[in-house]
Structure 1
Amino acid sequence: MEQGKVVPTLYEWAGGQAALEKLTEVFYSKVLQDELLYPVFKDMAPGHSRHVAHFIAEVFGGPRLYTEGDKGSHATMVAHHLGKMLDERKRKRWMDLLLETADEVGLAADPEFRSALVGYLEWGSRIAVINSNTDENPVKEGEPMPKWGWGATGGPYEG
């Protein structure tokens, strides 16, 4: 990298808040039309897609709209998944629809961004399945929000 060149956040590269809100708005409208996912999301609050966009934005290095504006936290997000009894079939359909929507709304399609996006979605959706099959929140209030960037993640072997 050239000296002095600033690396953009995933949030900036994605197109900022407007791009993420468009992504989640179009995505959740598809979810409500999907036979497999509709039962999971049929009772979601009207502002759900915006809150999810705020969460992703913050995780991707954007403004703290989820924690400050929505008064949410990592523990709050995890709590929304508790007891939902998600499974691999639903997770894969959720992933497919979200990535299809990313293409449809024109989210950045370069390999580097898509690698980071898919990495985050795979990580988050697999954790959501695990957390959905319990009633106990493994994330305590006050624990930091996840942060996702361009680099490789660490493994469970790192202590």
Structure 2
Amino acid sequence: MDNKDQIPSPCEWAGGVEKFEQLTDIFYKKVLQDPILEPVFRHMPAEHSKHVAHFMAEVLMGPKVYTAEYGDNALKHMVGKHIGRKLKEEQRKRWVDLLLESADEIGLANDPEFRSTFIAHLEWGTRVAVLNSQLDENPTTENEQIPEWGWGEVKGPYEVVGSLFQKKK
């Protein structure tokens, strides 16, 4: 067995999909009480929290629950949730801050290796979301998929969707 096969994915290390569902459940309760974020999320559907948990877990190399639900259009679906929303940096920062506060509250893994991977993904992903939110049309194509974010990943340089999201051949 290769040593890499013994290393759990960041999703597994964190506690699996269920832990991310717990995280987003606590988090979105806070969001709806937050003066900066509530206006953005006041009309979110009841299942939004679970969808975000599934997307986050999948990006962190967990089971492809989000993709199973949305199929080949999974990335397009997620990116589409941000198109035209004109999100601001203050909202992005507050989203990250509340999510990390919620992560601490539920006891999400807090070792330096996991937290550096998790926070790097959050910073990268929320900044991409803000950029995409300034667009009026969804730039994703059928050639793109949800990216995977593993241990110690560095992504970039940024492209609207672009090479990071290209389907593996």
Relative to the length of structure 2, the TM-score reads 0.87
Q: Distance in 1 between matches of 2:5 and 2:138?
A: 41
Contact 2:79 2:138 in 1 (8 A): yes
1:133/1:111 Cα in 2 relative to 1: closer, same or farther (>3 Å)? same
Contact 1:59 1:145 in 2 (8 A): yes
Q: Distance in 1 between matches of 2:3 and 2:87?
A: 46
Query: What residue identity is the alignment partner of 2:74?
Result: S
Matches within 5 A, 1:80-99: 80-99=81-100
**CA positional deviation for 1:5:** 6.2
Between 1 and 2, higher relative CO (CA 8 Å, sep ≥ 6) is seen in 1
Q: In structure 1, list runs of 5 or more residues that go unmatched.
A: none
Q: Distance in 1 between matches of 2:5 and 2:84?
A: 45
Aligned length: 157
**CA positional deviation for 1:153:** 1.3
Q: Which moved more, 1:27-36 or 1:72-81?
A: 72-81
1:73/1:142 Cα in 2 relative to 1: closer, same or farther (>3 Å)? farther
Moved over 4 A (4+): 2-5
Q: CA RMSD in A?
A: 1.9
**CA positional deviation for 1:154:** 4.0
Query: What residue identity is the alignment partner of 1:31?
Result: V
Relative to the length of structure 1, the TM-score reads 0.92
Q: Distance in 1 between matches of 2:3 and 2:21?
A: 33
1:156/1:33 Cα in 2 relative to 1: closer, same or farther (>3 Å)? same
Percent identity, aligned pairs only?
54
Query: What residue identity is the alignment partner of 1:103?
Result: D
1:154/1:85 Cα in 2 relative to 1: closer, same or farther (>3 Å)? closer
1:142/1:4 Cα in 2 relative to 1: closer, same or farther (>3 Å)? closer
Q: In structure 2, list runs of 5 or more residues that go unmatched.
A: 164-169
